[in-house]
Amino acid sequence: MFSRKVSVVVTVVVVALVTVGLVASALPVFAGPASAALPAHAQLVSTSPEDGATVPTAEQVVLTFSEDVNEQFLQVRVTGPGGTETDGAPQVKGTKVTQRLVRGLAAGEHAVTFRVVSVDGHPVSGTLTFTTTRAGAGEGATTPTTPAATGGSTTPTPSQTPTPSSTPTPSSTPTTGATAREEEQEDDQPDRLLMSRLARH
């Protein structure tokens, strides 16, 4: 009687162990396809400029993700020495997001903040930085103006015309020698007439 009970217990234990083993071996078979069917979340693969890079200047920022992103829920912000430095809305082409930067980008450190939503609805966000060593060409950059050389010598400014001095008043006209002789002859005329009359008598 006792031996029969022991044999029943042993049989139950063996069946239970076999059942557990079969279930454990079957789990990977069913779990494998189910895991493969689930879509992976989008991840940032690369950036241009790279995070922490130092470049002469930049005209745009390109973010590349592991899968396509939804352009309706896309946000990209770039800030730096010039304040907000984005030019227009970001453009999406497959897995790439391109954000143009303002012309004449100021030299210094720039921070890129992004938030995208993958095709499965999972949001992905992050921040990266890069540094530019010189200002880009455009509105922000100033080009010194060099005056063109002019041929020939510089025309001198004419000096002021001197004011003529006052015309001197002419002095009295002196008495000439001829006038003096005429006066002497007039004085001698009466004497000559007297001598002429005496000679006649």
* Residue-wise pLDDT tens digits, 5-48: 657 666 766 677 767 666 666 555 445 544 444 556 789 999 99
Give the residue among 129, 128, 83 at the shortest CA–CA distance from 106. Answer: 83
Higher per-residue confidence, 190 vs 36: 190
Beta strands in 66-190 (DSSP E): 69-80, 83-84, 91-93, 96-100, 108-118, 123-132
* Greatest pairwise CA separation for the chain in angstroms: 233
- Span 69-88, average pLDDT: 93
- Span 130-135, average pLDDT: 96
pLDDT band at 122 (very low <50, low <70, confident <90, very high): confident
| pLDDT reported for residue 42 | 81
Most confident of the following: 112-126, 150-164, 173-187: 112-126
The average confidence (pLDDT) of the chain is 74
Give the residue among 125, 106, 119 at the shortest CA–CA distance from 63. Answer: 125
Higher per-residue confidence, 148 vs 84: 84
- For tokens 């790439």, the residue is 96
pLDDT > 50? residue 151: no
User: What are the phi and psi torsion angles at 27 (to 5°)?
Assistant: -60, -45
DSSP string for 44-64:
EEEEESPTTEEES--SEEEEE
